[in-house]
Amino acid sequence: MAARVAMKFMSECFVSRKLKSNNITRHYFSTTASTINPPNIPKKVPHVSKKGRLLTGATIGLLIGGGAYASTVDEATFCGWLFNATKLVNPIFSFLDPEVAHRLAVSAAARGWVPIEKRPDPSILELKVWGRRFSNPLGLSAGFDKNAEAVEGLLGLGFGFVEVGSVTPVPQEGNPKPRIFRLPKEGAIINRCGFNSEGIVVVAKRLGAQHGKRKLETSSAASSAVDEVVHGGKAGPGILGVNLGKNKTSEDAAADYVQGVHTLSQYADYLVINISSPNTPGLRQLQGRKQLKDLVKKVQAARDEMQWGEEGPPPLLVKIAPDLSKQDLEDIAAVALVLRVDGLIISNTTIQRPDLVSENPVSQEAGGLSGKPLFDLSTNILKDVYILTKGKIPLIGCGGISSGEDAYVKIRAGATLVQLYTAFAYGGPALIPKIKAELAQCLERDGYKSIYEAVGADCRQP
């Protein structure tokens, strides 16, 4: 029985998605073969690099080994093995150009070539925010899946929520390459991508197709399940956030964000106004009190004028920078309270270079710094904003999280939810269940029965 369960699980994780991909591929080549490869012209065999062969060989080896292992264990044990097995593949990406590695990772998730988390999250991690159920508070921040190519695969890894984007109204290439730089010893990355995006039309089509597919699968699962299926987001378990950006050459930032709301909000469980990237000229000026107030009013009006069902419009959040003065933070908190902003994400990358990275020559590259060196700075800003907003606005803590203890510190500093990116780029899928397990242990160690009890614990008066 255990063998059958394990083999079925392996099939669900890899084979079903692969077959779908192969069917699409066969259809494409069957309809175009006559024009691409005439009968008398032999097909050219593409060259595969040594690194590519190594990555392919490692993946095939893991699948073969996994097939043998699957026949002897239960589903939960095999799931753990799959996540641990990614530790063997992930280091190979470090030999590739950072942007090439990033593209490969997104493509793998989009094609279902990543493990699927079948084990339930610890019940202590479950929470409800904005009326939406999160199975855990750990999310993937915007910047990884910029064009919403891999939502299903990323949610399947066990994130409580995934945020795609930033998405701009008009497609744009972003800044010249190279624009992503690793600082592996410091656990950091510097990027100056500049909102490279395929644009809202492409992303809307992609999200629409995924939305329908997820809803169909969720409905099928609900009809066959004995217990009631509790939906997290609009399309089923797992929450989807959409991060909106402005085009570099746009002269009307508000119009860009409004266009994003009109086109993408129907697929989003929450929306984010990103006004804090350091790589788009003039963007951070929108964090000023007057500018922010005018912008949020216009975007809120655009969202509220749309037709919504019983669930209402998606919550609207603002993502801010860590490089802000005390007065800046007071202004942002005041606007957020007066306009009843649904949440704040704290924080984006920093233009500062803390001592931890200052001696590394790569730190001289222009762009935003993320990863471990950002942790203290972003956490201090998070704590300040929690106090300024009196704990009335849900905050998402982002910046430098690489362990369950880090996530716990963010929560105690005022975060209801947390996000990671850089640590995921270095640690791969195996990091996700590790952080969740460690976070649950931290809560239980200190006597908390839920996330809610720990939120802002370090900000309260003794």
Residues annotated as catalytic (active site), given as ranges: 277
Ranges assigned E (strand) in 321-459? 343-346, 368-371, 395-398, 417-420
Q: Identify which of 295, 303, 297 has the alpha carbon closest to the alpha carbon of residue 274.
A: 295
Burial of 227 (0-12, 13-18, 19+ CB in 10 A): exposed
What are phi and psi for residue 181, nearest 5 degrees? -135, 130
**CA 446 to CA 423: how far, in whole Å?**
25
Prior bond of 166 cis (ω within 30°): yes
Where do runs of H (alpha helix) occur along 238-344? 253-264, 289-304, 326-338
Instruction: Reduce the DSSP state of residue 134 to 3 states and report it.
Output: strand
For β-strands 239-244 and 270-274, DSSP reports them as parallel
Q: How far is residue 198 from each of residues 149, 189, 278, measured CA to CA in Å?
A: 11, 23, 20
DSSP 125: G
State the DSSP H helix or E strand holding residue 241, giving kind and residue range, or none if neither: strand 239-244
| C-alpha 337, offset from chain centre | 26
How many Cα atoms are found within 13 Å in the side-chain-facing hemisphere of 247?
17
Q: Identify which of 258, 259, 266, 270 has the alpha carbon closest to the alpha carbon of residue 314.
A: 270
